[in-house]
């Protein structure tokens, strides 16, 4: 009986192992074939003159902020300096209990205005509106706390005035040409309803007054280094691969440009999930597939933003548990996508992949680790066999990360020093010896939380350690910044 159980469990683990790693290798091939074309097209866009800026679609940047006093000023300054012809910034203070609103008032000379907004989406009541006396395209909405980013994002959508919107986290730092790149799918294909970009880790970098001055690594914090590798793998070949097959299942909430009316038509972001970015992406898919409306969800790999990630065990665990709980519930909410007769690759390949190799993967991984140790203890599995399985798993993991590092260096070269790549490669080896196993346990916990309906706090502390202290405001600087914004250019000369 024990032997039969061993064989069954090991066959399941083996099939899972082969399936997920061959899938990722396939994504690698797709990325090597398609990523250079995408980057080359956008390189030409950067180098050619830009005289026809009036053709760019105006956008609304919605910054959701809850207890973000450590990072909110640098984030807003970053947005004020982007290179785009016409945009507005709507900061939504989601009932912060710290000094977020007071800091915004002081730093940007906010003036209270009696503005009425037509409420089209569900969200908590608005307490007040503020307009910057320095920057005409900066507004702040103060509202009651809604308990989630989705509620604040819906408020920002109602308060926005432009046809394209993007909900951003308060710790987001953008590259100046991000939205020039991100808007391209909307200009080339009128059926585009959503375009996503890449997210990179700001921890270890130097930021001053919203400028990303220097890209670096937090050498002593392996929690952050491991996350840099995870983001690299996720964006450099997984999402490129899904987009090539027109089956991109998720656009990250920190870097997505939405067609506003498509969101309003669906009732905005859901307040019932821990992962509103995944849920709205799947719901957009389901709505357009069900109604037969033509649509496109695009991915622009070199449209980049930087965000702060957890740098302690406690905060990282909390985030990963919440992420996997939200991931699983979003798949459940939109389960009609699975094998939808009109869903093509998305319904017949991408969604089954998400269920088996993502949502249920921690269950299989934890079961595989447990059964391997158990059967080795009882002598069913030899020491050599257990060691061979471990070496194979670690080797494939290192190989996939190495491919991501090669793509990173070949396409983007964000990390200026060879020592950076060496440190990341060392981290790629170390992450297989404990971190991945712990991460699997966190995700397993999230799966259990979803199954029992457990609700955990969603708040995450921000350190803001990557930013330099902003210099005191002075009239000459204000005049310079104001002239930049009024002139329609979001970047310093």
- The CATH number given to whatever domain includes residue 330 is 3.90.550.10
Give the predicted TM-score (pTM) of the model.
0.84
The answer to whether position 169 is within a domain reads yes
**In tens digits, what is the pLDDT along the chain, a chain of 493 residues?**
666 766 676 677 778 888 888 888 888 888 888 887 777 665 555 555 554 455 789 999 999 999 888 888 888 988 888 888 899 999 999 999 999 999 999 999 999 988 888 899 999 999 999 999 999 999 999 999 988 889 999 999 999 999 999 998 777 788 888 898 999 999 989 999 999 999 989 888 887 766 778 888 988 899 999 999 999 888 888 888 898 888 999 888 778 999 999 999 999 999 888 788 889 999 999 999 999 999 999 999 888 888 889 999 999 999 999 999 999 999 999 999 999 999 999 999 999 999 999 999 998 888 877 777 777 777 766 667 667 777 877 788 888 888 888 888 878 878 878 888 899 989 999 998 889 889 999 999 999 999 998 876 655 555 556 565 443 343 333 333 333 233 333 332 2
The answer to whether position 434 is within a domain reads no
Whole-Å CA distances, 27 to 24, 246, 267: 5, 13, 33
The answer to whether position 374 is within a domain reads no
The answer to whether position 452 is within a domain reads no
The answer to whether position 1 is within a domain reads no
The answer to whether position 480 is within a domain reads yes
Range of the domain at 63: 18-358+457-485
The answer to whether position 384 is within a domain reads no
Report whether 256 contacts 284 (CB < 8 A): no
- Domain count for the chain, please give it: 1
The answer to whether position 315 is within a domain reads yes
All residues at 6 or more sequence positions from 19 whose CB lies less than 8 Å from its CB, including other chains: 356, 357
């Amino acid at each position: 009986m024990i032997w039969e159980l061993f064989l069954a469990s090991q066959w399941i683990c083996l099939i899972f192992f082969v399936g997920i790693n061959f899938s990722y290798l396939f994504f690698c091939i797709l990325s090597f074939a398609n990523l250079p074309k995408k980057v080359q097209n956008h390189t030409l866009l950067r180098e050619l003159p830009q005289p026809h800026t009036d053709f760019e679609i105006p956008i609304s940047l919605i910054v959701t902020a809850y207890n973000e006093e450590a990072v909110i000023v640098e984030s807003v300054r970053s947005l004020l300096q982007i290179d785009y012809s016409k945009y507005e910034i709507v900061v939504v203070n989601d009932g912060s209990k710290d000094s977020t609103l007071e800091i915004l008032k002081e730093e940007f000379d906010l003036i209270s205005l009696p503005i009425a907004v037509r409420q089209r989406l569900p969200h908590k009541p608005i307490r007040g509106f503020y307009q910057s006396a320095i920057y005409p395209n900066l507004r702040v909405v103060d509202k009651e706390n809604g308990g989630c980013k989705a509620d604040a994002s819906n408020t920002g959508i109602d308060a926005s005035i432009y046809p394209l919107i993007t909900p951003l986290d308060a710790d987001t730092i953008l590259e100046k040409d991000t939205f020039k790149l991100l808007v391209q799918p909307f200009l080339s294909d009128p059926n585009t309803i959503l375009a996503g970009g890449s997210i990179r880790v700001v921890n270890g970098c130097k930021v001053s007054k919203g400028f990303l001055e220097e890209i670096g690594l937090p050498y002593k914090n392996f929690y952050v280094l491991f996350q840099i590798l995870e983001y690299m793998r996720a964006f450099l070949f997984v999402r490129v691969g899904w987009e090539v097959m027109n089956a991109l299942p998720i656009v990250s909430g920190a870097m997505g440009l939405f067609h506003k009316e498509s969101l309003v038509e669906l009732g905005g972001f859901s307040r019932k999930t821990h992962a509103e970015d995944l849920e709205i992406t799947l719901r957009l898919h389901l709505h357009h597939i069900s109604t037969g409306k033509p649509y496109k969800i695009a991915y622009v790999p070199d449209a980049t933003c930087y965000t702060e990630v957890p740098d302690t065990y406690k905060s990282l665990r909390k985030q990963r548990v919440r992420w996997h709980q939200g991931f699983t519930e979003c798949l459940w909410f939109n389960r009609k996508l699975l094998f939808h007769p009109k869903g093509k690759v998305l319904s017949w390949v991408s969604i089954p992949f998400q269920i088996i190799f993502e949502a249920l993967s921690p269950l299989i991984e934890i079961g595989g680790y447990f059964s391997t140790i158990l059967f080795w203890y009882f002598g069913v599995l030899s020491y050599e066999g257990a060691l061979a399985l471990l070496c194979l798993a670690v080797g494939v993991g290192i190989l996939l990360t190495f491919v991501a590092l090669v793509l990173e260096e070949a396409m983007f070269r964000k990390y200026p020093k060879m020592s950076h790549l060496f440190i990341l490669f060392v981290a790629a080896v170390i992450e297989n010896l404990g971190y991945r196993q712990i991460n699997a346990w966190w995700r397993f916990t999230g799966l259990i939380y979803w199954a029992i309906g457990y609700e955990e706090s969603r708040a995450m502390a921000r350190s803001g350690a990557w930013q330099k202290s902003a210099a005191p405001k002075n009239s000459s600087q204000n005049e310079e910044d104001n002239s930049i914004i009024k002139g329609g250019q979001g970047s310093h000369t």
